[in-house]
Chains A and B, each alone.
Chain A
Amino acid sequence: MNAVLAIAKLVIKEIFRKKDFYVALILTGVILCYAASLKFYNVSNVVRYLMEIGLMLIFLFSVILTAALAARQYPSEIQNRTIQVLLAKPVSRAQFVAGKFLGAFFAGAMCFVIFYILFMAVTKTKAEAFSFVLAFQTFYLFLLNLLVLSAMACGFSYYLTTSANVSITLVLYLLISTYGPGLKEASGKLFWINRYLGEACYYVLPHFEFFDLRQRFIHHWSPLSANLVIFLTLYALTYASFFLWLGWLKFRKQIL
């Protein structure tokens, strides 16, 4: 356990030592402050719209930072030859995979927490009414989203280069988030092989859109039931475990 925690802490340290996070934070701050300043002129619909953009930016920045961090962990260990030093110590390959994943997930989650606090603070100062239950559910489900995403990027990192991994992970994430809900319906209209492929994608790929409660939150819809939240937690854990197993499968016998 010492090894897993030490590796995870190292990954978390990495994200706060690089400029990417601070650039994203400054951009988010500027956009949120701009959105907040518009309220001053009593244009509340515009504020809601800009808050939606602000929340989308927070999600997007957290996704990009997490995917990039998770994707570069294993390749940079190989490139810098630090993996040999690390695995020469009492660290098993499974601990390495677990430590890198936990580090990437918690680093992404910490970035998201900072962005989210900023967002909530701005929302609160402008006296926008919101449901705390929905605010918490939006926050929690997005953490589950980052859990699956970081496991996916970590798992793929044992097969792909950093740039290929970041591109594939982000493209898959954006495609599924955008077209995931309509994929089954759209596949039904396709020719047979494409239909089966489309349906296979619908059932096999993780539905990131399940974890996105932005619309509910911004437009004050009703919160999710506890059972649904539990189901989504198990859904995220299943996919995260699958992607980590996929990575470990390649890494366990890898010549270093």
Chain B
Amino acid sequence: MDHVVEIKNLVVDYHHHRALDGLSLKVRKGEIFGFIGPNGAGKTTTIKALLGLISPTQGEVLLHGLPPSRPEARAKIGFLPEEALYYRFLSPVEILSFYGEIFGMPKKVLKGRIQNLLSLVGLSDVGNRPIHTFSKGMVQKVSLAQALIHEPETLILDEPTSGLDPLARMNLRKILTDLKKEGRTIFFSSHELSEVELICDSIAIIKEGRLVKAGLIHEVLGAHKDLHLERFFLETIRGEGGKS
């Protein structure tokens, strides 16, 4: 299977508001795919549709060839939300154990995996501290660790750099590129266009629920190679705004 994520003509209506309007996308296996757009463009709605958290009004979503409503499809993905507070009465070790138990991971394997993940995200020293004492950035690191607990084939990340300091961002970048080297696919939405430019193979730009541009990053930039993604993004969005 070449594509791990396939979105075909996706339409999502919230009451009287159309959040996504005929969105079509494909994400190839093993690539880092950046999903960008201004606030309210429909990025989070797309991610929710990918995870089966909302039912599309029209169109089709496939994860590893299966609809996201099927648990087998979701078993292959790891999801990092833009912001989650997690269970405040638990420590990172307990949170990771809980998510690991959902996948039926044996206790011994899970214990080792938790130690590795805490070390990967830099929380080894505070693994047993209650999460309510953590800063936003530390919670985001726990969030990344839970997304990786079952070694998913595909990662779906919603604003993964949110709340992270520059050092942690650099660490995250390294983690993502290492995961890519292991053959995993990463789909992430971000406002940090410099991050997207640094690590993504492909990008998609959406605005008002519609796809504006998509493809390999060097193809999308095309004749504008001298431009930074941020400037290209602004010109594209403003241009689209002018057309509409």
Contacts and interface: CB of A to CB of B under 8 A. Distances in A.
Given A91-B71, A253-B55, A256-B48, A84 B81 contact: yes
B146 interface: yes
A10 B100 CA distance: 13
A90 interface: yes
B52 A81 contact: no
B52 A13 contact: no
A2 B104 contact: yes
A123 B84 CA distance: 48
A59 B74 CA distance: 42
Interface stretch (B86-94, B196-204, B213-221): B86-94
Interface size classification for chain B: 20 to 34
Given A2-B101, A6-B101, A14-B89, A84 B75 contact: no
B101 A9 contact: yes
A13 B51 contact: no
Interface in A9-24: 9-10, 13-14, 17-18
A2 B54 CA distance: 24
A89 B87 contact: no
**Dominant SS at the A interface?**
helix
A255 B104 CA distance: 27
A256 B81 contact: no
B74 A90 contact: yes
A30 interface: no
A13 B101 contact: no
B42 to A, nearest CB: 14
Contacts of A80: 84-88
A5 B143 CA distance: 22
Interface string B97-136: 0110111100000000000000000000000000000000
A82 interface: yes
Nearest to B130: A17
B53 interface: yes
A82 B103 contact: no
B19 to A, nearest CB: 10
Contact of B51 (A10, A81, A87): A87
Contacts of A89: 74-75, 79, 99, 102-103
A193 interface: no
B85 A85 contact: no
A88 interface: yes
Contacts of A6: 98, 101-102
Interface string B31-52: 0000000000000000010011
26 contacts: A2-B101, A2-B102, A2-B104, A3-B102, A9-B98, A10-B90, A13-B89, A17-B90, A82-B84, A82-B87, A84-B48, A84-B51, A84-B79, A84-B84, A85-B143, A87-B53, A88-B53, A88-B156, A89-B74, A89-B79, A89-B102, A90-B74, A90-B102, A90-B103, A253-B55, A256-B53
Interface of B: 14, 48, 51-55, 71-72, 74-75, 77, 79, 81, 83-90, 94, 98-99, 101-104, 143, 146, 156
Interface of A: 2-3, 5-7, 9-10, 13-14, 17-18, 79-82, 84-92, 253, 255-256
Given A84-B48, A85-B79, A90-B102, 13 more contacts: A6-B101, A9-B101, A14-B89, A79-B85, A80-B85, A81-B83, A84-B51, A84-B84, A87-B51, A89-B75, A89-B79, A89-B103, A90-B75
